[in-house]
């Protein structure tokens, strides 16, 4: 499915909409949202929409240097949103120090991964995969596969 957004607010609203649909399906493992797209495409803006939808009140920043940031959720069915930014990684093996396998195996986690194409090996088959492309300064094409 392809969506077109005209500003960051529309991208955040789309994130909210797609997340709610995605989370309707209950899983045995973590719910993974995989984000692709070049620098400035709007991946972090999309994550802000996810965070808002999950009731997170603090401002989300891309954890480019910290690799992962975790947010405690008040929602009943999920306990944490973990936000990863893989821009600086060589490959998925760099995620081992975070205990990524345990995180992905736990169904109370929502795991959001920017630059997910760099760690394709760890993505579950049924993740919500989003690719964002520039159209113009304030328009983005958002592809959900």
Among 40, 66, 120, 145, binds ligand ADP (CB under 6 A): 40
Those residues whose C-beta lies under 8 Å from the C-beta of residue 36, and which sit 6 or more positions away, are 43, 115, 116, 117, 129, 130, 131, 132
User: How big is the site for ligand ADP, counted in residues (CB under 6 A)?
Assistant: 18
User: Is residue 138 near ligand ADP by the rule CB under 6 A?
Assistant: yes
58 to 77, contacts with ligand ADP by CB under 6 A? 62
H helices of 34-108, in order, are 43-53, 100-105
First-to-last CA distance in the chain? 7
Shorter beta-carbon distance to ligand ADP: residue 11 or 116: 11
Q: Which residues bind ligand ADP (CB under 6 A)?
A: 5, 7-8, 10-11, 37, 39-45, 62, 114, 138-140
């Amino acid at each position: 499915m392809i969506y077109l957004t005209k500003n960051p607010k529309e991208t955040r609203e789309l994130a909210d909409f797609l997340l709610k649909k995605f989370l309707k399906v209950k899983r045995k493992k973590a719910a993974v949202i995989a984000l692709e797209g070049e620098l400035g495409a709007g991946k972090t803006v999309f994550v802000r929409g996810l965070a808002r939808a999950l009731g997170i009140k603090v401002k989300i920043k891309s954890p480019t240097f910290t690799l992962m940031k975790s947010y405690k959720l008040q929602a009943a069915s999920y306990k944490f949103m973990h936000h990863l930014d893989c821009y600086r990684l060589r490959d998925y093996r760099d995620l081992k120090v975070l205990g990524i396998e345990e995180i992905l195996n736990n169904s109370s986690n929502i795991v959001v991964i920017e630059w997910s194409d760099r760690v394709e090996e760890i993505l579950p088959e049924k993740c919500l995969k989003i690719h964002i492309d520039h159209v113009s300064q304030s328009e983005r094409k958002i592809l959900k596969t």
